[in-house]
Structure 1
């Protein structure tokens, strides 16, 4: 199962993922803690930004981290070695639809910012959930770009965000997947699914969120598709620059920014 990662595998994207993980650690990982000795599968670990959170917040777990991109997996290994050297992590390069472990091998499954990039997330969920023992938990976190609203309002800024949404759809993903996590997990056969929004709001009284999220996470994410948006004629250079300038006003004094992630938890 190949993926076309719309943001690209670049040093800038690695920095963005790291900034996002640090800034949103408590928001996204609050309430997620696994017992020492439990076997946890992280499906789609990327560059390890969330992996570090998992192993430091649940010390003593036996984590297996999987990704299809070899360069990302190498970056994840280096990150965990530097930031959580005592963690017990098994690394696996492979396709989420063709993993080598028998059914029921893990106590818990954790998936973060992965399903949004996949053409058939229900199939992937069904396949991965078989690897979890009966009664084990499944935790899924995704964003929803349709939840982004900001002040001052700008049609030009909204247009560059829509470029990202369209390009992600063309790559087989869904930038609005957060709002449908509960029905997705239920369709995949996961039991007792509960979902909730994890809202980020930033204004000048919250400078760490303005910098860590509005600028370094969201605007940086939109900027990651600049090249494709211009190359495909979705925006002209002038239109793109205007949209980004307007979006950056939300990170200036007097500006505000809102975004919602969604977190769903269920059981095998």
Structure 2
């Protein structure tokens, strides 16, 4: 998160359909993430980059005893998060959202644990966020981070237009200050920020003809993820309408192929304050 977040470009954008995609994405990829997260002993949780509350919703469902404070710098996302929580019946007694730059936090208390998911990839200097939140964590508080490692994306067969678009998408994310490979760097970032007992694991998907239904769902989800960058990439002249259509057609083709393969690996880190 930049010193002036309002000027920062966000590759996925803030359109209403993107806000809904974030919730859909969270549900599709829920089990590979949360099967390895345990907040059962946590009472008050700090969520960095809470967005529209997509992960907040899952956290409260899986750990109903939690009280969550979500930090988000974009006003549109905070408004949508409150709307989503209200629809689910959650009020201030269970969740609060504060509009702040996570690299310069000013909170009123310390938390039992912290949660970050798909956030550091969008931040120019992610170590600043990790350092900023540390004073607001109790001694020994657990930190759970899940982040992208986009170089691991692989399909069989390889479709040139899909891979060309993915390369442009990731290169542009770097140009606007993000890091699509930040997951691989979590260990060093946490160490630099002063955390202890750091451990890393790889999670994700390796789907083939053994799991056709899940593969269909994940290919469709990934097509939507890639397409979320289309408006900004077109606006910046990074892609053509033709390439976008070919990428989407290629993903649909892979989705419906009986013997196609989808592989992607994200990185999860656990550390302690």
So what's the TM-score if we normalise by structure 1? 0.91
Paired with 1:153 and 1:24, the residues of 2 have a C-alpha distance of: 23
**Runs of 4+, deviation exceeding 4 Å:** none
Counterpart CA distance in 2 for 1:211 and 1:14 is 22
Whether contact under 8 Å (1:137, 1:267) holds in the other structure is yes
| CA–CA distance in structure 2, aligned partners of residues 67 and 129 of structure 1 | 17
CA distance in 2, matches of 1:156, 1:256: 17
Name structure 2 gaps, 5 residues minimum: none
Once the 2 structures are TM-superposed, how far is the Cα of residue 211 of structure 1 from its aligned partner? 4.3
Match of 1:220 in 2: 224
- Matches of 1:82 and 1:234 in 2, distance apart? 38
CA distance in 2, matches of 1:219, 1:45: 23
1:183-202 counterparts in 2 under 5 A? 183-202=188-207
- After superposition, residues 54-73 of structure 1 pair within 5 angstroms as 54-73=59-78
1:98 aligns with 2:107: no
CA–CA distance in 2 between the matches of 1:30 and 1:227? 34
In the alignment, does 2:172 pair up with 1:167? yes
1:146 maps onto 2:151 in alignment: yes
Task: Check the 8 A contact 2:220/2:251 in 1, yes or no.
Answer: no
**Cα deviations by residue, 1:24-60 (Å, 9 ceiling, x for unpaired):** 2121111323246621100110011100111111121
Q: Tell me, yes or no, if structure 1 residue 39 matches structure 2 residue 55.
A: no
Match of residue 13 from structure 1: 18
Whether 1:230 and 2:268 are equivalent positions in the alignment is: no
Instruction: Say what the alpha-carbon RMSD is for the aligned residues.
Output: 2.0
Note the alpha carbon deviations across 1:214-268, whole angstroms, 9 max, x for none. 212x211211222333344433332332233223322112222111111100001
The residue that corresponds to 1:136 in the other structure is 141
Worse overlay, 219-228 or 121-130? 219-228
Q: What is the rounded CA distance, in whole Å, between the counterparts of 2:193 and 2:217 in structure 1? A: 34
Which whole-Å CA distance do the structure 1 matches of 2:58 and 2:208 have between them? Answer: 26
Unaligned runs of 5+ residues in structure 1 are none
From 231, 234, 255, the counterpart of 1:251: 255
Show CA shifts across 1:194-229 (max 9, x none).
11111213345535533442212x211211222333
CA contact (8 A) 1:6 1:168 kept: yes
Matched with 2:35 is 30
- Provide the rounded CA distance (Å) in 2 between the counterparts of 1:183 and 1:209: 33
Kindly tell me the number of residue pairs found equivalent between the two proteins: 266
TM-aligned CA deviation for residue 15 of structure 1: 2.3
Tell whether 2:109 aligns with 1:121: no
Would the aligned equivalents of 2:105 and 2:132 in 1 still touch at CA under 8 Å? no
Q: Which moved more, 1:246-255 or 1:205-214?
A: 205-214
TM-score, scaled relative to structure 2: 0.90
Report deviation, 1:84: 5.1
Q: What is the distance in 2 between the residues matched to 1:60 and 1:227?
A: 39
